Amino acid sequence: MSHPHPDMTTPPPLPERGLRIIGLGGLGEIGRNMTVFEYGRRLLIVDCGVLFPEPDQPGVDLILPDFRYLDGRLDDIEAVVLTHAHEDHMGAIPYLLRRRADLTLVGSKLTLGMVRGKLAEHRLTPPVTEVQAGGRLSIGPFECEFFAVNHSIPDAMAVAIRTPAGVVLHTGDFKMDQLPLDGRLTDLGGFARLGSEGVDLLMADSTNAEVPGFVTSERDIAPVLDKIFDGATQRIIVACFASHVHRVQQVLDAAAAHGRKVAFVGRSMVRNMGVARDLGYLRMPEVPGGLMVDMREAEQLPAGDIVLISTGSQGEPMSALSRMAGRDHPIRIAEGDTVILASSLIPGNETAVFRVINELVRWGARVVHRDNALVHVSGHAPAGELMLLLNIVKPRNFMPVHGEWRHLRAHAGLAALTGVPERGIVVAGDGIVVDLVDGQASITGAVPCGLVYVDGLSVGEVTEASLKDRRILGEEGFISVVVVVDSTTGKLAAGPEIHARGSGIDDAGFADVLPLIEEALAGAAEEGMNDEYQLAQLVRRAVGRWVNENYRRRPMIVPMVIEV
C-alpha cells in the first residue's frame, strides 16, 4: 500500500501513454474537492469546491484549493467536469474562472443551473456543456462517460474517464438508496458493465467508510416529519442545506398536508430553490391560495400557519437560523416554536451548532435534530455499499477520495478485503502525484499544495502566520508598549507607556515592568545600541518574560520605538 511521504520531490516527466492524477483538495479533509487529470500535456479537472473554516481559522470565510499547479498551464485545461452542485464540489469555480474566464463547465442540467445562479453574482458567464446520465462526451484526449448516482441532491453523476493510459471511474459523492424520492437509482448496472470492460483505477467517496451497513432511505423521513408537524402548534422552522432539494420537497409536502404556508429564508436558499423549481426538480403541491409566501407575508400570518425553510443548519454565524437564535432577525423565536435541523454535522461545526441549539431552547423552542429523531439521512455510502461497489467494479487499482485521513484509510482497508492488490491501493493526500502507467497506479512525487484562505475580498493574502496572530489575539490579547528614545544616544527620552486589551492584566499591574524596560534600554544605550528594530525586540523580550513569569500568559506584544 502506497502512502504519501513528507520528503516527496517534484515528480518526473509523465511517461508517454501515462495518466497523471493530482488531488488539489478533498484528500485528508471533507471539502474543497478538486482533482486534475493530465494526459499528453492536456488537463481535465473534476470538481472545484470550497472548504469551510474551523474555529482555529478566525476571520476566514472560505478555503480554496491551491491552484498553483495550474499556473502557466491554464490554457492546457480542456474543461471542468462537475459531479454535482454542492459547495464542496463547485463553490470555488468563481475563483478559478478569475484566472481563465472562458473555461468550459460540464455538468447535468440542475448542476449547471445552480452554478449559473452562483456565477451570476460574480458576473461570470463561462461556456457550459450540459450532459445527461448515460451520455458520453469527448473532451480533448479524455473520453468521458456519465453515470447516474443517488446523493442528497438531484442530478448527481459519476464520471468514467477513458484515455490510452486506461479507464478511471470517479464516483463523485454517492449512495445506494433503493427507494430514492426521485426514482433515480445509482447506476449499478452501468458500473458492472464498466467493471466487466476493465477499470484501471477506481476513485470513490470515502466519507462514510467507517460506518457499517447500508444507508437508510430518504422515504423513511416523511412519516417522521408528518408526526412532528402534527404535534406542532406554533411556528415550524426547518434548517437544511440550501441545495437539499429532496429534503425541501418533503417539507413542502408535509406543509401542504397540514395546511401551512411556506417561506424560504436565506439568499442561497431562495436562489437554489428557485432554480430547482424552474428546472422541474422541485414540485409545488397545489393548495388553495398557493403554498408559498414571502417573508413579509410570513411575519403577518398566525404562528400555527407557517413553515420557514432556512439556511443555517451548520451554525454559520451570519445564517438566518443563527440570527434568529441570537435575536438578530425579524423572526423572533417564541415559546412553543419547533425547529428541525434536517442535516448532518460537518466535522468541526459541532460547537457552533450546539451553541445555536442551546440558544433556541433558551427561548422556548423545541429543537428536533438527527440525534433525537430521523430527520436526516446521509448522502454518502456507508461501508456495506462501498464494498458492493468495489465488488461490482473490480478495479485493478484503487484510490479513496473525499474524506479525512481516517476515512481514506478505512476505505483502503475495505478495498483490500475485496481483493484489490495491496500494491494497487494508493492512499494520497492533497498535492500528491499519482501516475497510472501500464495498468499500475503509484505515487511518483508531489506538487506545492496548501490552504488558500478567502477573507472578505482578500484571496490568498491571509497566511498561517496571520492566523497564528489572530489566534493569539483571540486567546491571549495584546500589549502595546510605546517608548521614545534619543536617536543619537539610544537613551530613554519618554515613556514607557503601556496599553493592554484582552490580556487579563490590570493596567496598574504594569507598574512593576516599567523599571525592567528602563533598565534594558539603559543597558542597550551603554553598549551603543540605537537601532530602532533591535530596541523594539529588546522591549518585547523584557515585557514577554515578565508577563510569562508573573501571569503564565503569552499575549501579543507590540513594541513601538519612536526616535527623537
Lowest mean pLDDT segment, chosen from 36-40, 256-260, 352-356: 352-356
The residue written with cell numbers 467508510 in the block is 209
Q: How many structural domains are present in the chain?
A: 3
Query: Would you say residue 1 has pLDDT above 60?
Result: no
pLDDT bucket at 195, cuts 50 / 70 / 90: very high
- pLDDT at residue 543, rounded to an integer: 84
Decide if 43 is inside a domain: yes
- pLDDT at residue 560, rounded to an integer: 84
Checking DSSP bridges between strand 166-170 and strand 157-163, what pairing results, if any?
antiparallel
- pLDDT at residue 3, rounded to an integer: 44
The mean per-residue pLDDT over the stretch 331-359 comes to 84
pLDDT bucket at 126, cuts 50 / 70 / 90: very high
- pLDDT at residue 348, rounded to an integer: 63
For residues 229 and 331, is the Cβ–Cβ distance under 8 A? no
Q: Quick one: 364 and 383 in the same domain? A: no
How is the beta sheet containing 366-368 ordered, strand by strand? 261-265, 306-310, 236-239, 338-341, 366-368
Tell me which of 335 and 353 has the higher pLDDT.
335
Decide if 551 is inside a domain: yes
Decide if 2 is inside a domain: no
Burial class (CB in 10 A: 0-12, 13-18, 19+), 192: middle
Q: Quick one: 202 and 254 in the same domain? A: no
- pLDDT at residue 73, rounded to an integer: 95
| pLDDT, tens digit (0-9, with 9 covering 90-100), for 409-446 | 999 999 999 999 999 999 999 999 999 999 999 999 99
What CATH code is carried by the domain that includes residue 534?
A: 3.10.20.580
Question: Which residues, in sequence order, are CB contacts of 485 under 8 Å at separation 6+?
Answer: 491, 492, 493, 521, 525, 530, 535, 561, 562, 563, 564
Query: Would you say residue 193 has pLDDT above 60?
Result: yes
The mean per-residue pLDDT over the stretch 300-327 comes to 86
Of 426, 455, 484, which marks where a domain is finished?
455
What CATH code is carried by the domain that includes residue 451?
A: 3.60.15.10
Q: Quick one: 313 and 428 in the same domain? A: no
Q: Quick one: 323 and 282 in the same domain? A: yes
Tell me which of 505 and 308 has the higher pLDDT.
308
Decide if 181 is inside a domain: yes
- pLDDT at residue 146, rounded to an integer: 98
- pLDDT at residue 330, rounded to an integer: 84
Helix, strand, coil proportions of the chain in percent (round to 5)?
Answer: 35, 25, 40
**Arithmetic mean of pLDDT over the chain:** 90
Q: Quick one: 206 and 223 in the same domain? A: no
Q: Quick one: 503 and 553 in the same domain? A: yes
- pLDDT at residue 5, rounded to an integer: 52
Q: What percent of the chain has pLDDT over 70?
A: 97
Decide if 35 is inside a domain: yes
Q: Quick one: 510 and 413 in the same domain? A: no
> Omega into 496 within 30° of 0, i.e. cis?
yes
Query: Would you say residue 280 has pLDDT above 50?
Result: yes
Task: Identify the CA nearest to 117 among candidates 240, 265, 277.
Answer: 277
Of 455, 484, 515, which marks where a domain is finished?
455
Query: Would you say residue 4 has pLDDT above 70?
Result: no
Q: Quick one: 81 and 112 in the same domain? A: yes
Query: Would you say residue 6 has pLDDT above 70?
Result: no
| pLDDT, tens digit (0-9, with 9 covering 90-100), for 204-222 | 999 999 999 999 999 999 9
The upper half-sphere exposure of residue 18, i.e. CA atoms within 13 Å in the direction of its Cβ, equals: 18
- pLDDT at residue 45, rounded to an integer: 98
Alpha helices (H) along 266-328: 267-278, 295-300, 320-325
Q: Quick one: 253 and 327 in the same domain? A: yes
Decide if 421 is inside a domain: yes
Decide if 373 is inside a domain: no
C-alpha pair distances (Å), 382 with each of 211, 233, 378: 5, 37, 9
| pLDDT, tens digit (0-9, with 9 covering 90-100), for 238-255 | 999 888 999 999 999 999
Decide if 5 is inside a domain: no
Lowest mean pLDDT segment, chosen from 76-85, 170-179, 515-524: 515-524
pLDDT bucket at 56, cuts 50 / 70 / 90: confident
The whole domain housing 335 covers: 218-368
| pLDDT, tens digit (0-9, with 9 covering 90-100), for 460-486 | 777 777 777 777 777 778 888 888 877
Lowest mean pLDDT segment, chosen from 266-275, 295-304, 330-339, 464-473: 464-473
Q: Quick one: 208 and 222 in the same domain? A: no
Q: Quick one: 274 and 316 in the same domain? A: yes
Of 326, 345, 368, which marks where a domain is finished?
368
Question: Which residues, in sequence order, are CB contacts of 3 under 8 Å at separation 6+?
Answer: 427, 443
Q: Quick one: 385 and 475 in the same domain? A: no
The mean per-residue pLDDT over the stretch 318-338 comes to 86
What CATH code is carried by the domain that includes residue 235?
A: 3.40.50.10710
The mean per-residue pLDDT over the stretch 129-156 comes to 97
- pLDDT at residue 549, rounded to an integer: 83
The mean per-residue pLDDT over the stretch 54-80 comes to 89
| pLDDT, tens digit (0-9, with 9 covering 90-100), for 380-394 | 999 999 999 999 999
Tell me if residue 504 falls in helix, strand or coil.
coil
pLDDT bucket at 347, cuts 50 / 70 / 90: low
The helix (run of H) or strand (run of E) holding residue 88 is: helix 87-90
| pLDDT, tens digit (0-9, with 9 covering 90-100), for 75-112 | 999 999 999 999 999 999 999 999 999 999 999 999 99
